[in-house]
Structure 1
Amino acid sequence: MNRLVQQMSSTPNRRRRPDPAAGEGSGAARGSNCKNITIMKLPRYGALSTRRDDVAMTTIRVHGWPVSTWTRTAAMTCIEKGAEYELVALDRFSPEHYALHPFGRMPVVEVGGLVLTETPAIACHLDECLGGPALQPEDLPTRTAMRRWMSICADYVFHDVVRAIPRGRPASAEELAVARTALERVESLVGDGPFLAGDGLTLADLFLAPQIANAREKAPEVLDGLGAIAAWAAGIEARESFRRTAYDPASV
């Protein structure tokens, strides 16, 4: 059993406030609550529909760069749900970009007449409003473990690994030390199963896999000796969603 699930299963079931940074709250709830995500409407798409058969007929546009770990997470989510999508290159920090995302981040996803921002909200919305296998566990301990992993990826791995390791030049000893410390902590939380939270693929796996791949691409030595991460990553990287979202580092 995954270590995060074990920890959650052994603690009392206390009510707590939802954690927006982990994709909790209105954007992470199950069922029809996916309509409560904070979004901007696209007038040209007409009336909002979150019926799965209606959404399946619309074009999903993922605005971002292939090299972006968050863009890759959104694209992998579409593929795992069996949905086709169009990757639209962003002119970053342009007026058009800020019109889609007021903080100039990526990805931005257009689906079903909505413009969605923030990857936890995007991923939960896609999971709940598209057909295909569910990517959020039904049972509370496993679902909470998934959300904890999503928060770990957003708050620690992205900042201390993805952003700490530079692109285009060798990483300094200090930068590698920051990334290695974070990765060793991730290693301590990865169990011996093929998935991070429970017995099946969840959004947690789709959050962490692009970040680990990013680190390996830029500084492969930073992952030396981290066997649990390597074993888990090998399974996720064999999936079609990971292979189809690969990019050529030389083109970055």
Structure 2
Amino acid sequence: MKLYHHPLSGHAHRARLFISLLGIDAELIEVDLAARARKSPEFLKLNPFGQVPVLDDDGVIVADSNAILVYLAKKTGAEDWLPEDPKGAAAVQRWLSVAAGEIAYGPCAARLVTVFGARFDANEVIARAHTILGRIEAELAGRQWIAADRPTIADVALYSYIARAPEGNVDRAAYSNVNAWLKRMEALPGFVAFQKTAIGIPEAA
């Protein structure tokens, strides 16, 4: 199994984190984003969208970070991470959609401004980040995990960009439930950290 990734991509970190949590032995292949390697003809054969991560499971190619999480959970039979019952599956899907929507357009976009020089309106995306962090803070009131009574791929999908939100100048200090949840994620066996940069503001304790 091979994972095409970049260490500063939160989407790629989702996939790498879940691979590690599952204890899967995978070859990590770094894609040079600065050299636009993701736009090379060879890489575009793997993912025509020119994005990381991409999983190559002995010729089965899976692009998109959330799709990779679902694929790995299904392949390994990890029902704890992806419930099979309708209610549980729907709860997880709801938060995968949040990861692809509000997280991408909030804390992810804010971090893209500072780390990669993306031309978003910084104030707008920071405000979006605080809106979704506030909603997740409320969701975690009185519970340990976002979609079930145990960690699921929903937690994995949300983790990376929330953990590094301060790099996008998004202050997490007011979100005690979120910060406690991050620490629970980081205590899971097999956890692998998302590479830090020196950009942004100090992380909340």
Residue 134 of structure 1, CA deviation: 3.6
Gap change, CA 1:62 and 1:219, over 3 Å in 2: same
Counterpart secondary structure, 1:99: helix
Say whether 1:219 aligns with 2:166. no
Please state if 1:147 is matched with 2:97.
no
SS at structure 2 position matched to 1:146: helix
- Partners of 1:206 and 1:125 lie apart in 2 by 14
Instruction: Show the counterpart of 1:19.
Output: none
Q: Secondary structure at the match of 1:164?
A: helix
Output the CA distance in 2 between the equivalents of 1:247 and 1:184.
Answer: 25
Q: 1:112-132 CA distances to partner (integer Å, 9 max, x unpaired)?
A: 321111222211111121266
The aligned counterpart of 1:183 is: 133
From 48, 51, 54, the equivalent of 1:108 is 54
The change in CA–CA distance for 1:182 and 1:198 in structure 2 (over 3 A counts) is closer
TM-score, structure 1 as length reference: 0.67
Deviations 1:159-184 (A, max 9, x none): 12211342247x84444223212322
Give the aligned residue type for 2:134.
Answer: E
User: For residues 23 and 74 of structure 2, what CA distance do their matches in structure 1 show?
Assistant: 13
> Root-mean-square deviation (CA), in Å?
2.3
Alpha-carbon distance between aligned partners in 2 of 1:118 and 1:75, rounded to the nearest angstrom: 12
Distance in 2, matches of 1:187 and 1:150, equals 17
For 1:203, the equivalent position in structure 2 comes to 153
**1:123-170 CA distances to partner (integer Å, 9 max, x unpaired)?**
11111212666411233222211110111111111112211342247x
Q: Secondary structure at the match of 1:115?
A: strand
* Largest Rg, 1 or 2: 1
By how many angstroms is 1:193 displaced?
A: 2.1
Match of 2:142 among 176, 192, 199: 192
Instruction: Structure 2 unaligned segments of length 5 or more: list them.
Output: 32-36, 200-205
| Structure-2 residue corresponding to 1:247 | 195
SS of the equivalent of 2:114 reads coil
Give the direction of change, closer, same or farther, for the CA distance of 1:81–1:224 in structure 2 (3 Å limit).
Answer: same
Residue 65 of structure 1 is matched in structure 2 by: 6
- Identity of aligned pairs, percent? 28
Shift of residue 105, structure 1, vs aligned partner = 1.2
TM-aligned CA distance change 1:157 to 1:96, over 3 Å: same
Q: In the alignment, what sits opposite 2:44? A: 98
What TM-score do the two structures reach when normalised by structure 2? 0.81
What is the SS of the residue equivalent to 1:167? helix
Q: 1:225 to 1:177 in 2, by over 3 A?
A: same
1:228 to 164, 172, 177: 177
Q: How does 1:106-145 map to 2 (within 5 A)?
A: 106-130=52-76, 134-145=80-91
SS at match of 1:187: helix
Of residues 13, 16, 19, the one that matches 1:78 is: 19
Partner Cα separation in structure 2 for residue 220 and residue 238 of structure 1: 23
Aligned residue in 1 for 2:202:
none
Structure 1 alignment gaps of length 5 or more: 1-59
Deviation of 1:205 (Å) = 0.7
Deviation at 1:87, TM superposition (A): 1.2
Distance in 1 separating the partners of 2:127 and 2:170: 13
Which residue identity does 1:237 align to in structure 2? Answer: E
In structure 2, relative to structure 1, the CA distance for the partners of 1:176 and 1:250 (3 Å cut) is closer
For residue 188 of structure 1, report the CA deviation from its aligned partner: 2.6
